[in-house]
């Protein structure tokens, strides 16, 4: 039996845990950072809270005799991904990143790309006066100085600083196009701001912006750490795990 640690917080992580649940070849732990007050339920065993950086994660992998590490965190969780790469290398544990495909602009889209949140905040005033911010509650500080009206959507209440003129909507996806059209119409939104998170759960806002002809300010996602193999779906990740050589994990004895 191979012990697998999945670094989660995404739908892909929950789906991978479900695919492996009940498979006697694996002993799976799904790790959640604990930043969401009421995470969605997941199959199998879960743990909540950080590890104490790369060194702490490497120590956990060694202590638990883990045979594989899967980084299925959010595409923008760059620090956690770096820690995962460093920890897997230090503990000599195979590492896989799961990254859903990013979004692509289509006919009729008016996309403006930024490499960072700070760059997006600087570009925003030239694109509109009433912004729909869908960048996650931990990245709102980059827009705190803006004088625009901002509709802010988040799963949990965000901590300050926030834009002075804002309206907060607490909601969890998936959202329908009709939901997004209504929300944008009711708040007279004229520009959408989002990170290139990819996936279907929050893609409806892009279709709604296209329908209204609105500009969309898209923050590009960071690249995974160099040398880490990437699966695009939980099914690909499960296949990768099943194809690993049946070697003993570090520190184990026959």
The 10s digit of each residue's pLDDT in 164-207 is: 999 999 998 889 999 999 999 999 999 999 999 998 888 999 99
Q: Is residue 249 part of a domain?
A: no
Check whether residue 114 and residue 188 sit in a common domain: yes
Of the chain, the percentage scoring pLDDT greater than 90 comes to: 81
Check whether residue 131 and residue 215 sit in a common domain: yes
Please count the structural domains in the chain: 2
Range of the domain at 64: 2-101+222-243
Question: Does the structure show a pLDDT above 70 at 40?
Answer: no
Point out which residues pair with 114 in neighbouring strands.
219
> Which of 5-14, 39-48, 55-64, 201-210 has the least mean pLDDT?
39-48
**The domain that contains 61 carries what CATH number?**
3.40.50.720
**The domain that contains 120 carries what CATH number?**
3.40.50
Check whether residue 154 and residue 234 sit in a common domain: no
Check whether residue 16 and residue 82 sit in a common domain: yes
User: What's the CA gap between 231 and 253, in Å, rounded?
Assistant: 31
Question: Does the structure show a pLDDT above 80 at 248?
Answer: no
Chain mean position to CA 32: 12
pTM of the model: 0.86
Check whether residue 165 and residue 229 sit in a common domain: no
Return the pLDDT at 250: 47
Q: Which residue has the tokens 């834009």?
A: 163
Return the pLDDT at 34: 56
Return the pLDDT at 243: 96
Of the chain, the percentage scoring pLDDT greater than 70 comes to: 93
Between strands 45-48 and 110-114, the pairing is: unpaired
Label residue 43 by pLDDT band (50, 70, 90): low
Q: Is residue 248 part of a domain?
A: no
């Amino acid at each position: 039996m191979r012990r697998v640690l999945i670094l989660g917080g995404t739908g892909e992580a929950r789906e991978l845990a479900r695919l492996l649940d009940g498979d006697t070849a694996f002993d799976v732990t799904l790790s959640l950072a604990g930043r969401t007050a009421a995470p969605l339920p997941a199959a199998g065993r879960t743990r909540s809270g950080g590890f104490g950086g790369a060194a702490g994660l490497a120590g956990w992998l060694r202590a638990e005799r883990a045979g594989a590490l899967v980084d299925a965190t959010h595409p923008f969780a760059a620090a956690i991904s770096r820690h995962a790469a460093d920890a897997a290398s230090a503990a000599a544990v195979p590492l896989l990143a799961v990254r859903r495909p990013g979004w692509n602009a289509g006919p009729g889209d008016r996309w403006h790309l930024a490499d960072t949140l700070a760059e997006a905040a600087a570009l925003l005033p030239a694109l509109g006066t009433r912004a729909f911010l869908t960048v996650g509650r931990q990245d709102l500080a980059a827009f705190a100085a803006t004088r625009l009206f901002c509709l802010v959507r988040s799963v949990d209440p965000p901590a300050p600083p926030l834009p002075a003129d804002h309206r907060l909507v607490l909601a969890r996806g998936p959202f329908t196009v009709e939901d997004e059209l209504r929300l944008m119409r009711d708040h007279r939104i004229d520009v959408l701001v989002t990170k290139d998170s990819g996936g279907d759960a929050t893609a409806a806002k892009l279709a709604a912006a296209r329908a209204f002809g609105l500009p969309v300010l898209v923050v590009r996602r960071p690249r995974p750490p160099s040398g880490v193999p990437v699966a695009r779906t939980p099914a690909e990740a499960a296949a990768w795990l099943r194809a690993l050589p049946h070697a003993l994990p570090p520190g184990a004895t026959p």
